[in-house]
Amino acid sequence: METTVLVTGASGFLGAHLTRELLSRRYRVRVLLRNKQQSLTLGDLSVEPYEGDVLDKQSLKKAVAGCEAIIHAAALAQVNPARNPAVWAVNLTGTENLIDVARLANVQRFIYVGTANVFGFGTKQQPGTETYPFAGKQYGSDYIDSKRAAKEQVQEAVKRSGLPAILVHPTFMLGSFDAKPTSGRMLLELYKGRVIGYPAGGKNYVHVRDVAVATVNALTKGRVGESYILGNANLSYQEAFQLMALRMNVSPPRWPIPPGLATLYGFGCDALTKLTRRPGQLNSSMIAVANDGHYFSSQKAISELELPQTPIEEAVDEAFTWFKRHNYFTQRAGTN
């Protein structure tokens, strides 16, 4: 008998890979879509589409009925503007709704997809782990804060009602099917020569397909109630931009951006946003994140979820190829 898995956020960047990974393992895949029109990322995959929304409990009940498992990957990953009530609605209230529906449906496994930013980050020499306390409050980012709150709700449901949940927390994902685009915008901006310098900080990078593999593995592996950071390479922005530029055969940004200067620019963007009531290219929250080194260890996920460690070069190559195939480099800004 096939196991039926509901995937929320299936048409998104990670969701497209989750869906393919599940299908490759002969799972029966049900996807929650805000509308059933054909998705660029899902194409004609053999899935069961259910129209619904994480903020609509009735649609969730219909989608979950008959499912043995849920992978909750839907989220509003918006960081600009830094403050946005819609982010809290989708990321926290949406997760609370899924928890309630999952308990009523008595699912056997609930996989919550969070973000590594809900943990404290470390240095390259001593990267952050799942035991490091939250350090993101300082950024004033509703995205980071809402994901932390959602994580806590899932953990509370495990303790109070025995929700069979495992929490996975990807770092910065790269790869194909980034249709919006999200993290891939970094590649697009680099390719178009719009990145004039590199910030002082850095982050952890991971192939999106590796995240999908470990997340699907969590349906049968890992420990209920535990969190797992899904990442790979810790790179400074200088190192990452050089790697990306090399793979795309363009020149990397040459100039370091001092943290103080970057901070001033962020405040200037905030002021302009208040004046025009339109989000600028950046904001002070994004700048503060970029000035820090968000370095993490994924050893726990490698050991318990068999997280692959595909070279980041391959992730960049696949993202670049996908963007070229779908004409992202020739489209005007805002048409993707």
Is 251 inside a domain boundary? no
Task: Classify residue 188: in a domain, yes or no.
Answer: yes
Asked if residue 61 is part of any domain, the answer here is yes
Query: Which regions in the chain score pLDDT beneath 50?
Result: 332-336
The one-letter code for the residue type at 239 is E
For residue 222, the 8-state DSSP code is S
284 occurs within a structural domain: no
Task: Please check whether residue 274 lies inside any domain of the structure.
Answer: no
Give the start-end residues of each E strand in the chain.
4-8, 28-33, 48-51, 69-72, 109-113, 165-170, 172-174, 197-198, 202-207, 227-230, 233-236, 255-256, 293-294
Is residue 334 assigned to a domain? no
Tens digits of per-residue pLDDT, 99-133? 999 999 999 999 999 999 999 999 999 999 999 99
- Give the model confidence (pLDDT) of 146-196 as tens digits: 999 999 999 999 999 999 999 999 999 999 999 999 999 999 999 999 998
Instruction: Show the domain range for 28.
Output: 4-192+204-242+294-319
CATH number for the domain harbouring residue 315: 3.40.50.720
Query: Distance (Å, rounded) from C-alpha 59 to C-alpha 63?
Result: 6
Q: Given this model, what pLDDT does residue 128 score?
A: 98
Q: Is residue 50 part of a domain?
A: yes
Return the DSSP state at 91.
Answer: I
| Rounded alpha-carbon distances, angstroms, from residue 74 to 53, 109, 151, 169 | 10, 17, 13, 13
The tally of domains found in the chain comes to 1
pTM: 0.95
Looking at residue 331, its pLDDT comes to: 57
Rounded to whole angstroms, the Cα distance separating 273 from 243 reads 33
Q: How confident is the model at residue 38, as a pLDDT?
A: 65
| Angle formed by the axes of helices 13-24 and 208-217, nearest 10° | 50
Is the CB of residue 33 less than 8 Å from the CB of residue 95?
A: no
At a CB cut-off of 8 Å and minimum separation 6, what does 249 contact? none
Does residue 34 lie within any of the structural domains? yes
